[in-house]
Amino acid sequence: METHTAKILDGKALAQKIQTELAATITESQPKIGRVPGLAVLMVGDNPASAAYVKNKEKACAKVGIASFGKHFPTQTSQTELEAVIAQLNEDERVDGILVQLPLPNHLDAVGLLHTIAPDKDADGLHPVNLGRLVRGETGLRSCTPAGVMRLLQEYKISLAGKQAVVLGRSILVGKPMALMLLEADATVTIAHSRSQDLKTITQNADILIAAVGIPGLITADMVKPGAVVVDVGINRVTDSSGKNSLVGDVQFAATADVAEYITPVPGGIGPMTVAMLLQNTVSSYLQVHNL
pLDDT tens readout for residues 181-201: 999 999 999 999 989 999 999
227 is in an annotated binding site: no
235 is in an annotated binding site: yes
Q: 174 and 98 share a domain?
A: no
**Region of residue 70 (left: phi > 0; alpha: psi -120 to 50; beta: else):** beta
- pTM of the predicted model as reported, rounded to 2 decimal places: 0.95
Q: 260 and 147 share a domain?
A: yes
Q: Is residue 63 part of a domain?
A: yes
Q: Is residue 152 part of a domain?
A: yes
Q: 153 and 250 share a domain?
A: yes
Q: 58 is in which domain, residue-wise? A: 34-119
Q: Is residue 25 part of a domain?
A: no
Give which of 205, 134, 137 is closest to 165, Cα–Cα. Answer: 205
35 is in an annotated binding site: no
The Cβ of residue 262 has, within 10 Å, a number of other Cβ atoms equal to: 19
Q: 91 and 177 share a domain?
A: no
Q: 260 and 161 share a domain?
A: yes
Q: 265 and 163 share a domain?
A: yes
Contacts (Cβ under 8 Å, ≥6 apart) of 63: 19, 23
Is the preceding omega at residue 265 within 30 degrees of 0, hence cis? no
137 is in an annotated binding site: no
Q: Is residue 156 part of a domain?
A: yes
CATH number at residue 82: 3.40.50.10860
The Cβ of residue 160 has, within 10 Å, a number of other Cβ atoms equal to: 21
Q: How confident is the model at residue 2 (pLDDT cuts 50, 70, 90)?
A: low
CATH number at residue 225: 3.40.50.720
Domain count, the chain: 2
> What are the pLDDT digits (tens) for 75-121?
999 999 999 999 999 999 999 999 999 999 999 999 999 999 999 99
Q: 191 and 266 share a domain?
A: yes
Q: Is residue 50 part of a domain?
A: yes
pLDDT, residue 144, reads 97
Q: Is residue 229 part of a domain?
A: yes
Q: 107 and 165 share a domain?
A: no
Average pLDDT on 233-249 reads 91
Q: Is residue 9 part of a domain?
A: no
- SS3 for 145? helix
Q: Is residue 83 part of a domain?
A: yes
Q: 266 and 154 share a domain?
A: yes
Q: 186 and 264 share a domain?
A: yes
* Per-residue exposure over 115-152, b if at least 16 CB sit within 10 Å of its own CB, e if not: ebbbbbbbbbbbbeebbebbeeeeebbbbbbbbbbbbb
Active-site amino acid positions? 57, 101, 124
Residue 1 confidence (pLDDT) above 70: no
